[in-house]
Amino acid sequence: MSSASAPAKLILCGEHAVVYGRPAIAAPLSDVRAYARVKPGQAGSGLRFIAPDLGENWSAAEQPAHPLSELARAALARLGVEDADLTITLRSDIPIASGMGSGAAIGTALVRALAAHVGLALPPAEVAALVYASERRFHGTPSGIDNTVVAYEQAIWFERREPAPLIEPLTIGAPLTLLVGDSGVRSATRLPVGAVRERWQADPRRYEALFDQVGELVVRARAALASGDIRLLGTLLDANQALLEQIGVSSPELERLVAAARAAGALGAKLSGAGWGGVMLALVTPETRDSVAEALRAAGATRVLGV
Ligand code: PMV
């Protein structure tokens, strides 16, 4: 039996604009993970999937077009395996459709567990490429940041470029204390991403200008992170939230949490991920951490994680 896992992720700043070539910064949430276990199945069974947290059990023969059936087949082909009888169990502690990269984490854990089963270690770039191809097929126009930060499991600067993205490890000058508040509203990534694309097509000048402003702020956030200037970082996160509201991906629930975090002393707060639901993040200090967490719960957060 072989097993593997992969972390959730958080986009610190730059979501949505990253789809249009601007930079973004993301970090893994190593304590919240997805897990995959692979063991030999009965002869002739093919690939069988057991995924209690997804509420699904299926076989690749019955559901060949299931995204995870396809990803498993692609990964096995890359590993030089044609036919395999395997039972694959997938588990995840990451809430789905919440902006924490649950799809990328499950896919990454699956690819890693299959590689471990075959006895090969795939480099992060190859794992990321397999998961990206799968996300592209099923989610429209992903930038690639989710699969990259999850596969590399380190804080990154990311720019979508052709033929390959720019991925740089990030220097962090002072420890960051972040809280993640879950709005409890589930929203599939492709919906806000698709809505932004329609708006951008209808009014490219306005949206390109908004994306440029996000990109400039991400450049400044990188410098603030490197020098450990967390107050400046906080104001940049607030500015990013304002731009995300103008881009049209915020929501009343997220804005209630953002306002509550700021009122309780957070240095900055914004939604994180695709928006319309899912999670927000708040930059706090060890001193304000508990009061901000309390304020988030009082404002309706269904879950508050410390990072
Ligand atoms: O909500 P998530 O975790 O899928 O994050 C999406 C991030 C976007 O920038 C909105 C889309 C993308 O592909 O980068």
The 10s digit of each residue's pLDDT in 177-231 is: 999 999 999 988 899 999 999 999 999 999 999 999 999 999 999 999 999 999 9
CATH classification (class only), 177-306: alpha beta
Which pLDDT score is estimated for 299?
98
Between the two ends of the chain, the Cα-to-Cα distance in Å is 32
Answer yes or no: is the C-beta of 189 below 6 A from any ligand 1 atom: yes
Q: Was domain 2-169 assigned CATH 3.30.2020.30?
A: no
Ligand 1 atom at minimal distance to the Cα of residue 14: 9
Residue 16: CB within 6 Å of ligand 1?
A: yes
Sequence spans of domains, the chain:
2-169, 177-306
Active site residues: 146
In the reported structure, the alpha carbon of residue 267 is separated from the centroid of ligand 1 by a whole-number distance in angstroms of 24
pLDDT at 58: 97
Residue 10 pLDDT: 97
| d(C-alpha 47, C-alpha 223), whole Å | 47
Nearest-atom number in ligand 1 for the CA of 141 is 13
Q: Which of 70, 65, 92 is nearest to 8 (CA)?
A: 92
Q: Are 102 and 92 in contact (CB under 8 A)?
A: yes
Ligand 1 pocket check for 95: Cβ under 6 Å: no
Query: Does 249 sit in the ligand 1 pocket, CB within 6 Å?
Result: no
**What pLDDT shows up at residue 210?**
98
Choose among 64, 142, 66, 131: nearest CA to 104.
Answer: 131
Query: Which ranges of the chain have pLDDT less than 50?
Result: none
pTM: 0.95
pLDDT of residue 66: 94
- Residue-level pLDDT at 265: 98
